[in-house]
Amino acid sequence: MLRSALLSAARSPMLRSAAEHSALARPVVNRFVAGTDLDRALTVARELAADRLVSVDYLGENTEDRAQADAATEVYLALLDRLGAGGLADRVEVSIKLSALGQALPGEGAALATDNAARICARAEAVGTTVTVDMEDHTTTDTTLDTVRALRGDWPGTGAVLQAYLRRTEADCAALAGPGSRVRLCKGAYDEPASVAFRERAEVDESYRRCLRVLMGGQGYPMVATHDPALIEHASALAAQTGRLPDRFEFQMLYGVRPDAQRDLAAAGHRVRVYLPYGSAWFPYFMRRLGERPANVMFFLRSVTSRH
């Protein structure tokens, strides 16, 4: 119930406006979001890149007109130029949400988002890095995977994201486990109906294991996005069973979540990539992080109450 309430709040324009203009929330949000401007994000990315890999996400989703979609695209182009100029492109990629690039706009949405994503992929290739296309709620899964397939025609290194809590995902993993295919497997952070998604934690965990088995047994490059110690151990065991060396898969974790575990995995010789969001439109992302894990809610409440 708490998770559903938090995810419902994430969709509230009134709550979003109040939170994003609140001075009180900012210090708490800073645990999960690397500031609101590009300079700060690049500073954090450089610090993380000393021992880990990074995927930078410019926060924003569900754009309402073409101008917003084009503006988001320009931000990514500028971000990529800065990564190239700053010598970070070999360790830092970008993650994009198609809804931020216009996917949901009437009529032209899918084509517009694909065109904008293509511009970003072309710039990423020019500076020497890659792009991963984030997955959003289940109503966009087919359209998003269509876009990924289209982008891979010119940029085969484009990453896809699959969510283990969706009932369809094991089949999607099999379809995307081909040579060179970069696939980020996460649990999923949206409030989906039982008709399309597993709702119980044990079911989601078991689905994650099944999906991971498919990816590890395939010919692609699995990106294991989880903070769960049991699943991390399971992934390491599967990699050993399938003969995968440490350079043939990676672990991914969110900025601000289990940073000590991130450093420990990197020190042990694993590839670890940190998902690093930045920007002023942080509210939906932050609420989904609270909804994923009750400990995040307690951290937030303690931080707020300690400031009174």
Active site residues: 134, 184
How long, in residues, is the chain? 308
How large is the C-alpha radius of gyration of the chain?
18
Backbone angles phi, psi at 142, to 5 degrees: -65, -45
What are 273's strand-pairing partners? Answer: 53, 252
DSSP string across 125-156? HHHT--EEE---SGGGHHHHHHHHHHHHTT-T
Rounded to an integer, what is the distance from CA 224 to the centroid of its chain?
11
What is the separation, in whole angstroms, between the first and last Cα of the chain?
Answer: 28
DSSP β-ladder status, 159-163 and 131-133? parallel
